[in-house]
Every structure is written in C-alpha cells, then in structure tokens.
C-alpha cells in the first residue's frame, strides 16, 4: 500500500527508517518491552523491504537486465543473512556481544537510506505517475 500510494522510493525511505529505528531500539534497550518493540519494527521493515526493493529494481532497470538485477538482489539478501548469522555466532563464541553485528546492519541501512533519499536517485515509472491505475479503479461514491 505504501509503495503504491506514495511511490517506491518513499517506501524504501520508510523501510530504511523503520530498520534504523529498530536497530537503535534493540541495541539501546534496557527492558524487554523496548527490545521486543525493536524486534517488531525490524520485522516490519524487513518484510516491507522484501517486497518493495524488488519492485523498485524491476521498475528502474532496463528490460534486458531486469531479471539479473532481481536475482542479484535476492542472492545479496541470502548472503547478507548468512554473514549476519555467522558474525553473531562468531561474536558469541568469542564471548563478545551481538551489538557490533547489529551496528553493521545499521550502517548498511543508513547507507541505503542516504542513497535512496538523494534527489538524483532513479525514480521508478510507477512513482513518476501518481495517478497510475486510477482509470481502472471503480469510482467511489
């Protein structure tokens, strides 16, 4: 709904903001309810990202390379999950904390947030036409 109503870039900014707030809440929380709120927001942001990022990539990429970009995005998600799990496991085995691993997630989210939020970033075709699809919708009374 967010991506259709406000555009893919705005949805990605919302996703990145949710993830950044969630990581800060988890790392700085001193009570369980705040930590769980951070986990909930991280799940919301991640769930939105799994949908919005491929839509954005599909709309801004050239048709002949579209499939490759979508597959590379999905591979990057899987590799990122693997690296995050291994990093947390190694930190735990070394007697360290999981917080530095979350700091890496924060830095990557902040980097994407800056890139997507820049004014010269690619605008998807669906984002460029805010009235897209309105002609096919039934009129509300």
Cβ(108)–Cβ(121) below 8 Å: no
Contacts for 96-99: CB closer than 8 Å, 24+ residues apart = 99/27
pLDDT value for 140: 53
Mean residue pLDDT of the chain comes to 78
Tens digit of each residue's pLDDT (9 = 90 or more) over 35-60: 899 999 989 988 888 888 888 888 88
In the chain, count H helices and then E strands.
6, 0
């Amino acid at each position: 709904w967010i991506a259709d109503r406000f555009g893919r870039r705005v949805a990605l900014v919302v996703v990145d903001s949710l993830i950044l707030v969630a990581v800060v809440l988890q790392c700085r929380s001193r009570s369980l309810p705040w930590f769980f709120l951070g986990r909930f927001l991280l799940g919301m942001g991640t769930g939105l990202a799994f949908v919005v990022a491929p839509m954005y990539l599909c709309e801004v990429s050239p048709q002949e390379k579209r499939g490759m970009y979508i597959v590379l995005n999905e591979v990057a998600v899987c590799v990122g999950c693997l690296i995050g799990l291994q990093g947390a496991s190694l930190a735990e085995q070394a007697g360290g904390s999981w917080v530095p691993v979350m700091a890496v997630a924060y830095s990557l989210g902040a980097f994407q947030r800056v890139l997507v939020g820049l004014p010269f970033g690619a605008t998807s075709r669906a984002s460029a036409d805010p009235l897209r699809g309105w002609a096919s919708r039934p009129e509300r009374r």
